[in-house]
Amino acid sequence: MDVQPTLDEIEDRFVALVEGRLSRDDADRWAAHWVTKSDLAWGDLEWWALNLLHGVDLPASATGGFLHDDEQVLAWLGELRLRRAV
């Protein structure tokens, strides 16, 4: 049985992604694993953050890059930290 990740662990995935230590594909797969488990109860902030990570590797059709660029991912990390501080 998997142990549900904490908000710290979710934030760590964002940090690793921003720092280039985690690929977008790996971040998406990790988040997808948790988002698709129907027997877990999430807080609003955890659910919001996991859903951002799940899909972080979506391609942008016109540019060949990602739908959400590196600046957007960094902004999400900042928003996560702000929301945690409240």
* Residue 70: pLDDT over 80: yes
The backbone region for 64, taken as left when phi is positive above 0, alpha when psi lies in -120 to 50, beta otherwise, is left
| Whether 84 contacts 7, CB under 8 Å | yes
Write down the pLDDT at residue 1: 61
* Residue 2: pLDDT over 80: no
Query: Residue 27 — very low, low, confident or very high, per pLDDT cuts 50/70/90?
Result: very high
Across the range 32-61, mean pLDDT stands at 93
R_g of the chain, CA atoms, integer Å: 13
Which residues touch 36 (CB under 8 Å, ≥6 apart)?
Answer: none
> What is the span of the domain harbouring residue 32?
7-85
Write down the pLDDT at residue 62: 74
Do the domain assignments include residue 1? no
**Which residue type occupies 62?**
A
Q: How many domains does the chain have?
A: 1
Could you say which DSSP state residue 2 is in? P
Tell me the whole-structure pTM to 2 decimals: 0.91
Write down the pLDDT at residue 3: 87
Do the domain assignments include residue 70? yes
